[in-house]
Structure 1
C-alpha cells in the first residue's frame, strides 16, 4: 500500500502536540499554510476528539484540557 502525501501529512501532524496542531489550523485558515489535496479532515477531527477524551480521563484536575476540544470545534466551524 502506497501512503499518499495527505495520509503521510496527517500521520505526522497527529504526532505533534495539540498546541502545534492548533497553530497549524490557524495558519491554514489564514491562508498562510497549504493543505495537501484530499486531506482527511474527518480523521483529524476524530483523533483530536479521541485525544481530548483520553486527556480528560488521564490527567488530574484542574489541567487545561480545552486545547484538543478547541481543535475539534474550530475544525467543525471551518
Structure 2
C-alpha cells in the first residue's frame, strides 16, 4: 500500500510509522515519534480513520489505540 499523495507530511509519516510497528499504537507513542503534542496526534489519527487508512484497535467511547488498515 503506497502512501496517498494528498496527505500532509505528518499524515504520511503516521502511515509509515504504522507500517513499521507490528502492533496497535497509542496517540502518545505517535506524538513522541513525530515530536508534536498529544492533541495534534489525536487530530491526525482521527483524520486518517475518516479516510479509512487506519482503524481504531481498542476503545469505544475514547479511542486508545490505532492500527493500519489492511486492504
TM-score by length of structure 2 reads 0.36
Q: Could you say which structure has the greater relative contact order, defined with CA pairs below 8 angstroms and 6 or more residues apart?
A: 1
TM-score by length of structure 1 reads 0.34
Larger strand fraction of residues: 2
Larger helix fraction of residues: 1
